Amino acid sequence: MEQYFARYFSEKKMADAWVIIQEDFLSATVSTLYITLMSTLLAILIGLPLGVLLVTGDQKGIRPLPRWLMGMLNWIINILRSAPFIILIVLLMPFTRLLLGSAVGDAGVIVPLVIAAFPFVARLVEGSLRELNPNIIEMAQSSGANTWQIVFHVMLPESVPSLITAFTTAITTILGYTAMSGAVGGGGLGNLAISQGQQRSNHAVMLAALVILIVLVQILQTFGTWLARKADKRLKNK
Amino acid sequence: MIEICNLSKSFVTAGGTVDALRNVNLTIRDGDIYGIIGMSGAGKSTLVRCINMLERPTEGTVRMDGTDLGALKKKDMQEMRHHVTMIFQSFNLLMQRNCIQNIMLPLKLSHVPRAQALKRAEELLKTVGMPDKARAYPAQLSGGQQQRIAIARALATDPKVLLCDEATSALDPKTTHDILGLIRAINREMGITVIVITHQMSVVQEICNRVAILENGTVVEEGDVSRVFSDPQAAATKRLVYPDTFEEFENLGTAHNQMIRLVFRGAEAATRPLLASMAIECRIPANILSASTRTLDGKVYGTMLLNIPGGPEEMTRAIRYLSSTPDVSVQAESRYPSQPEGSPEAQ
- Quick check: B105 contacting A, CB < 8 Å? yes
User: Is residue A237 a part of any domain in this protein?
Assistant: no
The whole-number pLDDT of residue A101 equals 81
The whole-number pLDDT of residue A117 equals 95
Q: Which residues 70-129 of chain A have a CB within 8 Å of chain B?
A: none
Residue B181 near residue B127, CB atoms below 8 Å: no
The more confidently predicted of residues B230 and A223 is: A223
The whole-number pLDDT of residue B256 equals 55
- Quick check: A131 contacting B, CB < 8 Å? no
Q: Name the residue range of residue A85's domain.
A: 2-231
Q: Do B81 and A149 touch (CB under 8 A)?
A: no
* CA atoms of B115 and A80, how far apart (whole Å): 47
Residue-level length of chain B: 347
CB within 8 Å of A3: residues ≥ 6 apart: none
The whole-number pLDDT of residue B341 equals 42
What is the pLDDT averaged over residues B59-73? Answer: 95
Q: Tell me the β-bridge partners of B19.
A: B10
Q: Do B54 and A154 touch (CB under 8 A)?
A: no
What is the pLDDT averaged over residues B242-251? Answer: 65
For residue A138, give the CATH number of its domain: 1.10.3720.10
C-alpha A167: how far from its chain's center?
Answer: 8
Contact residues, chain A, for B163 at CB < 8 Å: 142
Which class for B39: exposed (0-12), middle (13-18), buried (19 or more C-beta within 10 A)? middle
Q: Do A135 and B92 touch (CB under 8 A)?
A: yes
Contact residues, chain B, for A142 at CB < 8 Å: 52, 54, 81, 85-86, 163
- Determine how β-strand B299-307 pairs with β-strand B287-296: antiparallel
| Nearest CB to A234 within list B54, B80, B95 | B95
- Nearest chain B residue to A152 by CA distance is B109
What count of CB pairs under 8 Å joins A to B? 73
Residues B314-339 pLDDT 10s: 888 888 888 888 778 887 765 544 34
Interface test with A, best of B45, B102, B103, B105 (most A CBs within 10 A): B105
Distances (CA, A) of B333 to A70, A154, B240, B305: 63, 56, 18, 10
- Determine how β-strand B84-88 pairs with β-strand B161-165: parallel
Nearest to A170 by CA among A129, A122, A137: A122
| Model pTM score | 0.85
* CA atoms of B281 and A4, how far apart (whole Å): 113
The reply to whether B2-240 and B243-334 are identical in fold is: no
What is the pLDDT averaged over residues A175-195? Answer: 79
Residues A19-56 pLDDT 10s: 777 788 888 899 899 999 999 999 999 999 999 999 99
Residue A8: which pLDDT band, with cuts at 50, 70 and 90?
confident
CB within 8 Å of A38: residues ≥ 6 apart: A110
- Complex ipTM more than 0.95, yes or no: no
The mean predicted confidence, pLDDT, of chain B is: 88
Residue A168 near residue A133, CB atoms below 8 Å: no
The whole-number pLDDT of residue B251 equals 61
How many CA atoms lie less than 13 Å away from A235 in the CB half-sphere? 10
Q: Look up residue B232 and give its amino acid.
A: P
Alpha helices in chain B (DSSP H): 44-51, 74-80, 99-109, 114-127, 143-155, 173-190, 201-207, 225-230, 235-241, 267-271, 274-281, 312-323
The whole-number pLDDT of residue B270 equals 61
- Nearest chain B residue to A160 by CA distance is B96
Interface test with B, best of A131, A139, A141, A165 (most B CBs within 10 A): A139
Dihedral, CA of residue A230, residue A231, residue A235 and residue A237, to nearest 10: 30
| Nearest CB to B78 within list A146, A232, A236 | A146
Which class for B133: exposed (0-12), middle (13-18), buried (19 or more C-beta within 10 A)? buried
Domain B2-240 has CATH 3.40.50.300: yes
User: Is residue A236 a part of any domain in this protein?
Assistant: no
What is the pLDDT averaged over residues A197-214? Answer: 82
What is the pLDDT averaged over residues A153-169? Answer: 97
| Nearest CB to B96 within list A135, A143, A157 | A157
The whole-number pLDDT of residue A16 equals 79
- Nearest chain B residue to A231 by CA distance is B96
**A38-47, A143-152, B262-271 — which is least confidently predicted?**
B262-271
Residue B308 φ then ψ, to 5°: -105, 115
pLDDT at B343 over 60: no
- Quick check: B170 contacting A, CB < 8 Å? no
Residue B347: which pLDDT band, with cuts at 50, 70 and 90?
very low
The whole-number pLDDT of residue B131 equals 94
What is the pLDDT averaged over residues B289-318? Answer: 80
* CA atoms of A9 and B50, how far apart (whole Å): 76
The whole-number pLDDT of residue B324 equals 84
- Nearest chain B residue to A154 by CA distance is B94
| Whole-number CA gyration radius for chain A | 22
What is the pLDDT averaged over residues A111-134? Answer: 96
Q: At what angle do helices B114-127 and B143-155 cross, to 10 degrees?
A: 130
Q: Tell me the β-bridge partners of B331.
A: B261
Domain count, chain A: 1
* CA atoms of A107 and B174, how far apart (whole Å): 65
Residue B19 near residue B77, CB atoms below 8 Å: no
DSSP class of B336: B
The whole-number pLDDT of residue A158 equals 97
* CA atoms of A156 and A34, how far apart (whole Å): 27
Q: Indicate the helix (H) or strand (E) that contains A79.
A: helix A67-82
Residue A215 near residue A32, CB atoms below 8 Å: no
At A200 the three-state DSSP class reads coil
- Nearest chain B residue to A146 by CA distance is B78
What is the pLDDT averaged over residues A89-104? Answer: 84
- Determine how β-strand B161-165 pairs with β-strand B193-198: parallel
How close is the nearest chain A Cα to the Cα of B264, in Å? Answer: 43
The more confidently predicted of residues A166 and B248 is: A166
Residues B172-185 pLDDT 10s: 999 999 999 999 99
The whole-number pLDDT of residue B309 equals 83
How close is the nearest chain A Cα to the Cα of B85, in Å? Answer: 6
DSSP class of B339: B
Q: May I ask the CATH architecture of the domain B243-334?
A: 2-Layer Sandwich (3.30)
At B42 the three-state DSSP class reads coil
Q: Indicate the helix (H) or strand (E) that contains A24.
A: helix A11-56
The mean predicted confidence, pLDDT, of chain A is: 89
Nearest to A51 by CA among A145, A138, A170: A170
Q: Do B54 and A138 touch (CB under 8 A)?
A: yes
Dihedral, CA of residue A62, residue A66, residue A70 and residue A76, to nearest 10: -150
- Quick check: B135 contacting A, CB < 8 Å? no
What is the pLDDT averaged over residues B287-292? Answer: 82
Residues B77-133 pLDDT 10s: 999 999 999 999 999 999 999 999 999 999 999 999 999 999 999 999 999 999 999
The whole-number pLDDT of residue B308 equals 85
CB within 8 Å of B230: residues ≥ 6 apart: B263, B265, B296, B301
- Determine how β-strand B2-13 pairs with β-strand B59-64: antiparallel
Q: Do A142 and B95 touch (CB under 8 A)?
A: no
What is the pLDDT averaged over residues B250-267? Answer: 69
Contact residues, chain A, for B81 at CB < 8 Å: 141-144
**A54-58, A127-131, A155-159, B10-14 — which is least confidently predicted?**
B10-14
At A88 the three-state DSSP class reads helix
The more confidently predicted of residues B339 and B76 is: B76
**A39-43, A121-125, B20-24, B289-293 — which is least confidently predicted?**
B289-293
Instruction: Tell me what percent of the residues of chain B surpass a pLDDT of 90.
Output: 61
